[in-house]
Amino acid sequence: MNILGIETSCDETAAAVVKDGRQLLSNVVASQIDLHAKYGGVVPEVAARSHIEQMLPVVEEALACAKLDWSGIDGIAVTAGPGLLGSLLIGTLTAKTLAEVKTKPLYAINHVEAHVYANFLDTTSPPSFPLLALVVSGGHSQFVLFQDHLNYQVLGQTRDDAAGEAFDKIAKLLDLGFPGGPAIASAALRGDASAFAFPKAKLGHDSLDYSFSGLKTAVLRQAQELAGLDHTAPLSTLSAELTNQQKNDLAASFQKTVVDTLVDRALYAFEKYRPESVVIAGGVAANQLLRDELKRRLPIDINYAPMQLCTDNAAMVAALGYHYAKAGKAISPAELVADSALKM
């Protein structure tokens, strides 16, 4: 069964064709990173306008790369939420129009749930159930236990910032570039992770909730101290007062603290729920230190998805769409609603 996936929840316009929820036939992603970089973050109106321009060419390219025409597509899966409303509207409008015109079944997909399905793509050893997923992206940071496809429970999550959001904000503070995750990871390679001992917030030993906002403030206070500025100085002047080595050390110590927090909690979740497999999902799953530390500390073999399938793409949407199709979860085009606040 070939599912066409469509993804426009943030700043990537993406379409992909996946066979039987596993085999990648095509995966096209038009990134808007260059458009947003000069603003240091995603501008919703700019993102929505760019999706309009890119959407149909990206769908056509996904079909062409898969060497299929519409007769070879068995259904359309589209991200319905969560995400930026203006961006979601372009993908959902495209999907419902195509489903109507081409008479294809339509599946409304939860973007965060879809991130987990990157781990089922193009691998000879897909994860088995029960499956513990650490979802760490720009907007989410949560532990989810899947008993089977479409059957899951959220075990715990951040009480404030998502892991990716924390990376992005600290990168902005240190003026390291956009998107923040890769920028911090690369600065950290030249820094000393033991330079600063930042606090790890743990909300009770037996809780799988955690927090990154205190860490963010701790990095800010440390940077202000290094720069010789008091707490009232404007943040925009801070990075210019720091040396490159200080920024690299701050980045490395921050990254280590985030990774330690997540791996500590992952270890606790593993011991408590004893899953058959563990996966990481979402953009922060591309972080090499997180991958290495999870592998080192968890008593289980972990197969990681390729980096390019961790950040937003439509292949993960199509992979999950296959399971919606098997479960008979098609909806009519009129029922498809973009929901920016959709929860897992």
Ligand X SMILES: Nc1ncnc2c1ncn2[C@@H]1O[C@H](COP(=O)(O)OP(=O)(O)OP(=O)(O)O)[C@@H](O)[C@H]1O
Q: Is 312 in the site for Mg ion (CB under 5 A)?
A: yes
Helix (H, G, I), strand (E, B) or coil at 140: coil
| Contact string 98-127 vs ligand X (x = CB under 6 A) | -------------xx--x------------
**Interface residue with ligand X, options 164, 191, 275, 321 (CB under 6 A):** 164
Using N-to-C axis directions, what is the helix angle for 244-273 and 213-227, rounded to 10°?
160
Residue choice 94, 110, 261, 311 for contact with ligand X (CB under 6 A) = 311
Note whether 142 binds Mg ion by CB under 5 A: no
Type and span of the H or E element at 193:
none
Neighbours of 122 (CB within 10 A): 16
Binding residues for ligand X, how many (CB under 6 A)? 26
Least Å from the CB of residue 209 to ligand X: 17
What's the min distance (Å) between Cβ of 119 and ligand X? 13
Among 168, 266, 293, 338, interactor with ligand X by CB under 6 A: 168
Tell me how far, at minimum, the Cβ of 286 lies from Mg ion, in Å.
11
Compute the least distance from the CB of residue 25 to ligand X, in Å: 22
- C-alpha of 149 from chain center: 19
Which class for 223: exposed (0-12), middle (13-18), buried (19 or more C-beta within 10 A)? buried
Give the C-alpha separation, 187 to 191, whole Å. Answer: 7
Q: Which two tokens stand for residue 95?
A: 């999907």
Residue 238 interacting entry, from ligand X, Mg ion, none, C-beta within 5 to 8 Å by type: none
Using DSSP, state whether 148 is helix, strand or coil: strand
* 163 alpha carbon, distance to own chain's centre: 10
Contact (CB, 8 A) for 20 and 3: no
Residues in 170-199 at the binding interface with ligand X, rule: CB under 6 A: 179-182, 185
Alpha carbons 280 and 21: distance in angstroms, whole number: 18
User: Among residues 137, 142, 158, 261, which is the contact residue for Mg ion, using CB under 5 A?
Assistant: 137
Residues binding ligand X (CB under 6 A): 9-10, 82-83, 111-112, 115, 137-140, 164, 167-168, 179-182, 185, 282-284, 286-287, 311-312
* Interacting residues toward Mg ion by CB under 5 A: 137, 312
